Amino acid sequence: MNTLEYLKVFFVCTVLMFVFPMAGIATDNVLTRLDRCLDSSSLYDEAKANEIAELNRKAMSATNDRERFMMYLRLYKAYESYKYDSASVYADKAYSLACKINSYDFIVESVCAKVFCLLSAGMYKEAFDELNVVDIAKASLPCRYKYYFVKWRLLADAADYCHTEPYYSKYIREAHSLADSLLSVNGNTLMVPYIKGMQLMKEGKYDKSIDFFLQTLKDKRLGMHDRAICASCVGWMYRNLVIRKEG
């Protein structure tokens, strides 16, 4: 097995070991489990379709705008890592309803949903435009945290996309400053090492970043989506450390 093939297998196994903790199980067994999961993809799709159908039913039968807003937001989240175009539709519906209700928290939350869809599609200018018109002064602490987190993610993704100086360093500096804001308003201790790990990764400090991600992965409160993100970041950094060492 050449170095590139080794790194591919290593990356997949790193992700799987953290998403499905299985200490001491051989690589072949890990890959066998991956094959079984892929073979069952139609069952996962069916379960997701049933979940979405139920949420649509609840949205249609909602008795007031606030209840309908919550259903639209849940529909956005159901589509968030499944179908971005559909997620965008429900983010827009949630935003329109939030403006009608005139709730600061609902507006911030729905704008964050819209921005996530835009940055996922690589529409960074439009994402910045959406964030820059939002007034978070009267929003609750959790919603301000969500706003800061989405903006930090946008800056980090924009830096990765352009990767050209002086813009790359500018985005990274702004993201670093925003990370400090995130840590100052975040009451969720689970996300503190996650934020630090992400920031250090963007700065190329992989050894320190991995330590924070491993700390995050030990927390049983971490959801499967965030666990997969952390694990893939760890795998990606291990790969880059190997390439640095060989280079």
pLDDT digits (tens, 9 = 90+) for 93-130: 999 999 999 999 999 999 999 999 999 888 999 999 99
Domains contained in the chain, number: 1
Domain containing residue 206: 3-56+126-246
Distance CA 97, CA 88 (A): 14
Tokens 């919603």 correspond to 143
Cα separation of 182 and 103, whole Å? 22
Task: Name the pLDDT band for 7 (thresholds 50, 70, 90).
Answer: very low
Question: Across the chain, what does the average pLDDT equal?
Answer: 83
Instruction: Give the global pTM.
Output: 0.76
**CA–CA gap between residue 82 and residue 238 (Å, rounded):** 27
- Is residue 68, in this structure, part of any structural domain at all? no
Residue 56: both structure tokens together: 């649509």
Is there a domain that residue 20 lies in?
yes
Instruction: Please indicate, yes or no, if residue 63 is contained in any of the structural domains.
Output: no
Q: 77 lies in a domain? A: no
Structural domain includes residue 67? no
State yes or no: pLDDT of 170 exceeds 80. yes
Q: Which residues contact 72 (CB under 8 A, 6 or more apart)?
A: 59, 90, 93, 94, 97
H/E element, 91:
helix 84-101
Give the per-residue pLDDT at 70: 96
Query: Rounded to whole angstroms, how far apart are CA atoms 245 and 3?
Result: 12
**pLDDT score of 166:** 92
Q: How many CB atoms lie within 10 A of CB 82?
A: 15
Q: What residues contact 90, with CB distance under 8 A and at least 6 apart?
A: 72, 73, 75, 76, 79, 113
Q: What are the backbone angles phi and psi of residue 179, rounded to the nearest 5°?
A: -60, -35
The answer to whether residue 108 sits within a structural domain is no
The model's confidence at residue 6, banded by pLDDT at 50, 70 and 90, is very low
Residue 216 lies in a domain: yes
- 157 domain residue, yes or no: yes
Look up residue 139 and give its DSSP letter.
S
Look at 1 and 135; give whichever has higher pLDDT: 135
The CA-to-CA distance between both ends of the chain, in Å, stands at 19
